[in-house]
Structure 1
Amino acid sequence: MSGILIDPGKCIACRACEVACEREHGRSFITVFEFETSAVPLNCRHCERAPCVEACPTGALFRDGDGAVLVDVKKCIGCNMCVLACPFGIPEIAGKIMVKCDLCPDRRAEGKLPLCVQTCPTGALTYEEPSEFSMSRRKAYAERLALRRAENAPGL
C-alpha cells in the first residue's frame, strides 16, 4: 500500500504541507514539529496493522480500496479509543468525531498526489510504497559512500 513517507533530513520547516492540507480540507492533518537541529512533519501513517482500526468499537475506521484508513463519520461516537491506540498520537476529536489524514481520496481518484506531497518543495514528503522508499534511500546512501571513497582515493 502506498502512503506518505517522510524524509526528515529534507524538511526545511517551511510548513507548505500544513498550508496545502488546510486549503484542501479546511484544517491541517499534518503537523511540522521543529527541533534544534531538524524538523519533522508528522501525519497519519495509515499503518498496515492499524491499532486505531482495531480499537474502534463501532467500526467507524475502515480501509478504502487503496488501503488508506478512513473515518465513517456516521459511525464515529467520539470515544477516543483510536486516539489512545495510535502509537503516534495522530487522531484528533473535532466536535464529537475523529478526524485525521485521508490521503486526499478525490485527488488519488484523479491520479494526483495528496496535496501535501505535491506541495512539498524539497521532496521531504513522497507518496510511494515503503519498499520503493527504502530502495531509494539505500541507493542514495550507496552513492554517498561511493563519492566519499572516490574523494579519498589516492591521486594518479
Structure 2
Amino acid sequence: MRLAFVWQASSRAKGEGQLKRIIVHEEYCIGCRLCEVHCLVQHSQSHDIIKAFKVEQPRVMPRVTVEESGPLSFALQCRQCLEPSCLEACISGAMHRDERTGAVICDESLCVGCWMCIMVCPVGAIQRNLTGTRIASKCDLCYGADMPACVAHCPNEALTYEEISL
C-alpha cells in the first residue's frame, strides 16, 4: 500500500477547480536533507549555496524539515490546508491566503510573534524564526517560482508537485 502525505492548495492560476499539491512519497525519501538545503538557499538573500551557509548572518531557516523515525523519513512542511487553523488563529492578519495562488503565506512584516499559528498547526509545520526576529516561518511554496526548490532538487523524487482537478 502506498502512503503519501498530501499538501493541499497552491496554484489556482490555471482555472477554478485546479490545485497544485506537493506530495511526499516517504517510501523514496532517504533522509538526505537536500530539500532543507535548497529551501534555505531559495530563501537566502544571495541564492548562492556557499554564501547562504557560510557568509549570510543570520542564516535563513529552511521551511521544510526532514523527520526521521527508524527507517522512515519524510519532508515535513506546510500542508496548505483548505481550512487552515493558523489563518483563523492569527491575531495580526499576517497569515493570509494569497489571492493568486491560494497558498497560505505569512507576511513577516505583519507578524507580531504571538506564536498562535505554531500552537494550532495540526502537523507542526510552522516554526519560530530563529534569525533574531519574533516571526513565524512556514513553507510558502517558494512563492513566485514555477516549482518549489525542495521538489526541484529531490534526487529520488520523494517530493512531487502535481496539478489535480477538484
How does the TM-score come out when normalised to structure 2?
Answer: 0.72
Structure 2 match to 1:44: 78
User: Partners of 1:130 and 1:98 in 2: how far apart?
Assistant: 29
* Shift in alpha-carbon separation, 1:68–1:10, aligned structure 2, 3 A: same
1:52-75 deviation digits (Å, cap 9, x = unpaired): 001111211111111111111222
Structure 2 match to 1:120: 154
1:80-124 deviation digits (Å, cap 9, x = unpaired): 1100110011112222111111101121xxxx2111100001111
Output the amino acid matched with 2:141: L
Report the aligned-residue RMSD: 1.6
1:84 correspondence with 2:122? no
1:22 correspondence with 2:56? no
Q: Which of 1 and 2 has greater Rg?
A: 1
Output the amino acid matched with 2:74: V
Structure 2 match to 1:62: 96
SS in 2 for 1:52: helix
How much does 1:49 deviate? 0.6
Higher percent of residues as strand: 2
Gaps (5+ residues) in structure 1?
133-156
1:97 correspondence with 2:135? yes
Identity %: 43
Structure 2 match to 1:141: none
1:106-145 deviation digits (Å, cap 9, x = unpaired): 21xxxx211110000111101124669xxxxxxxxxxxxx
1:5, 1:130 within 8 Å by CA — same for their partners in 2? no
Gaps (5+ residues) in structure 2?
1-18, 45-60
Aligned length: 128
